[in-house]
Structure 1
Amino acid sequence: MKTWLWIRKHWVALACIALMLPLAGCMREPESALRIGTNVWIGSEPLYLARELGHLNPEVVQLVEYPSASEVLRAFRNEAIDGMVISLDELFGLAVDGMQPRIILVVDVSHGADVVVGRPGMRSMTDLKGKPVAVESGALGAYVLSRALALNGMRASDVDVVHLESNEQPSAFVKGQVDGAVTFDPYRTQLLRAGATTLFDSTQIPGEIVDLVAVRATVLEKQPNAVQALLSGWFSALDYLKREPRDAARRMGIRQQTTGEQFLDALKGLHIPSREENLRMLGGPTPELAVTGRRLMALMQEEKLLRAPIEINEVLAPGPLASSPP
């Protein structure tokens, strides 16, 4: 009798395990936090605003701030982060190197926010001839400088390029170590306060400087909920910026070490696409970003800033945005 009871007891246990195994196989592993790298840049601030307003759970989307765009790129290459805010030209470099970035959101299009500045009294790029110019070591600074020089009939050899991270440039300018800089806010404002004058800005190259949120290709499959949370938080922050611009700018300005008024003024140099604009830029039969991207890619290859072309449609990932609730 005892033997029968023992067999019956263990048979029931084995049967329960057998029933649970298929269910366990169907269960998705819990998603880890999506790590998004950013540098100090006004275009990234709505992400931090979303977090502050409670629209972006840090346990789901973790924002990791680096001192420069170069550090963000390095972190992505080293797999310390899953995604990042990055410019389109920088993304091309990652894609060529097989890093498989996928664009899920267009953050902004520069319209005056990226500039080249020089010493007081300088009036044009030609005044920088033979002078030391600070440029961040990432692709964006080199691209802006190359375009500014080319449009003024100059070459890279006409200036003395000094590689300095964006946060190091204002101090170097004040100390007289450089006479010009390729920069953006909040460092643009700091340089202007130090007496610098604007010699070139991105209004002269419309549509060429685009900032994006890109994630690793595997993230789209493994962390879809976190991707949706990021998109939802982003547009919630934009809605708040539209409803309460002064309070939103005050909050974002604190992190950028500017006043709310200064932050709003800096935002005038950016166009922030709506959800509908994003869908047109990333998806559809002819994505707008593919058109501008191919033109940018050709310019970069001409300037020897990109060693090979990529198929731009392969890096566009409109799916998460298209399936997210409005």
Structure 2
Amino acid sequence: MEFTTKLFTKYLCNSTSKLLSISALCAVLIFAPSTASAESKPKFRLAWTIYVGWMPWDYGATSGIVKKWADKYEIDIEIVQINDYVESINQYTAGQFDATVMTNMDALTIPAASGVDSTAVIIGDFSNGNDAVVLKGAAKLADVEGKNVNLVELSVSHYLLARALETVSLTERDIRVVNTSDADLVAAFTTDDVTAVTTWNPLLSEITAMPNNTKVFDSSMIPGEIIDLLVVNSKTLSENPKLGKALTGAWYEIMSTMKGSDKAALAARTEMAEASGTDLAGYDAQLASTKMFFEAKDAVDFNNSSALITTMWKVAEFSFKHGLLGEGAADAKFIGVETPTGVYGDKSNIKLRFDPTYMQMAVDGKL
């Protein structure tokens, strides 16, 4: 067929009869292969939501860095902002996105618990003060006893609250959780009825800027437990390793651009700040309470540490207690979580994988 097409093309293009229709057909035949190739370029979608550690994805899209790396691996990557964090994970779980940003707990309790095998390709950071319990008109954590606490129920905020209560010999039975959308938390705290909240930045910064409140517990007191990830569908990643390479390459170029205090770094962080509704000073303040892994090696070391299994054990125990591992979960080990140092949970039901492969490629300069 290829031989016949080439002969036909040569015949038409060399014919002394230069009719317009023949010239047009000649052009179509010559350029058809490249058009077909462009149309067959694999396309992928990544969802993100506003958070200090995830703003780099927006910058990567607007600056062209993501496209640069996608072009290198001959794929298309669409970066899509979703206004509601949990909804973004739900859409990923439903197959509407190939990748999205989420915490380690949400990766376990939403896609993994729904049977969607997912891989943490990039560990971007962990919260080191970006999540906190805030009380109005009270100065210490123990004062939360008997109060309603507004938060996004069954999220990392809920986990943080539970871990905080342990430190003052309280349990969730000593407070009342009021499920509140992250979109409504700031407005809720301005009312007289709401006197306690648990939330994350940038909402946290808005709330703590209000008068008569105290941050009584934050994630710096449980370092390394609330981890921010880029998660990719494991089947998609296995079939398209170029996606993992492109995303990781883009991420560490963004990290290299935004760190430090040179003109390019300040411009990048200023853009991220404005996109998240603050200014450079405000964004840098949020970064100060975030343990960003600007260097791939640091992320790999964290990923490969045995402490990761301990963290996932704590998260799994909380999740099981709150019925987040699915109806069939008999215990906290129902879902297998694979890490370089071993598997926590059921090895025959691995649905969440911490795989440093692509980050290690960045370390080794192989992207």
Tell me if TM exceeds 0.5. Answer: yes
* Native 8 Å contact 2:48 2:57 kept in 1: no
Q: Does 1:228 align with 2:245?
A: yes
Hey, what does 1:261 align to over in structure 2?
Answer: 281
2:218 to 201, 205, 208: 201
Unaligned segments of structure 1, at least 5 residues: 1-9, 17-26
Q: Secondary structure at the match of 1:43?
A: coil
Residues 134-160 of structure 1: CA deviation (Å, up to 9, x unaligned): 111343122111111122211112222
Hey, what does 2:64 align to over in structure 1?
Answer: 54
Unaligned segments of structure 2, at least 5 residues: 8-36, 339-349
Q: 1:81 to 1:137 in 2, by over 3 A?
A: farther
Is the deviation greater in 167-176 or in 51-60? 51-60
Distance 2:94 2:193 in 1: 32
Residues 228-284 of structure 1: CA deviation (Å, up to 9, x unaligned): 22111111111111243422221111011111011101101111122112223335x
CA shift for structure 1 position 301:
4.3
Hey, what does 1:316 align to over in structure 2?
Answer: 354
CA shift for structure 1 position 299:
5.2
Q: Secondary structure at the match of 1:178?
A: coil
Q: Does 1:238 align with 2:262?
A: no
Residues 8-45 of structure 1: CA deviation (Å, up to 9, x unaligned): xx9x759x9xxxxxxxxxx9x94433212222211101
Distance 1:138 1:78 in 2: 19
2:54 to 44, 67, 73: 44
Is the deviation greater in 125-134 or in 41-50? 125-134
For normalisation by structure 2, the TM-score amounts to 0.75
Aligned residues: 304
Q: Does 1:276 align with 2:297?
A: yes
Hey, what does 1:181 align to over in structure 2?
Answer: 197
2:82 to 45, 57, 66: 66
- Letter in structure 1 aligned against 2:286: A
Distance 1:235 1:68 in 2: 26
Q: Secondary structure at the match of 1:74?
A: helix
Hey, what does 1:297 align to over in structure 2?
Answer: 316
Q: Does 1:83 align with 2:83?
A: no
**After the TM superposition, which residues 165-176 of structure 1 pair with which residues of structure 2 at under 5 Å, given as runs?**
165-176=181-192
Is the deviation greater in 291-300 or in 142-151? 291-300
Hey, what does 1:252 align to over in structure 2?
Answer: 272
Q: Which structure has the higher relative contact order (CA within 8 Å, separation 6+)? A: 1
The percentage of counterpart residues that share the same residue type is 21
- Letter in structure 2 aligned against 1:266: Q
Distance 1:288 1:146 in 2: 20
Is the deviation greater in 315-324 or in 253-262? 315-324
* Native 8 Å contact 2:237 2:243 kept in 1: no
Q: Secondary structure at the match of 2:65?
A: coil
Distance 1:203 1:92 in 2: 22
Q: Secondary structure at the match of 1:250?
A: helix
Residues 152-181 of structure 1: CA deviation (Å, up to 9, x unaligned): 211112222111121210101112342111
CA shift for structure 1 position 185:
1.1
Q: 1:167 to 1:250 in 2, by over 3 A?
A: same
Is the deviation greater in 161-170 or in 92-101? 92-101
Distance 2:311 2:203 in 1: 27
For normalisation by structure 1, the TM-score amounts to 0.83
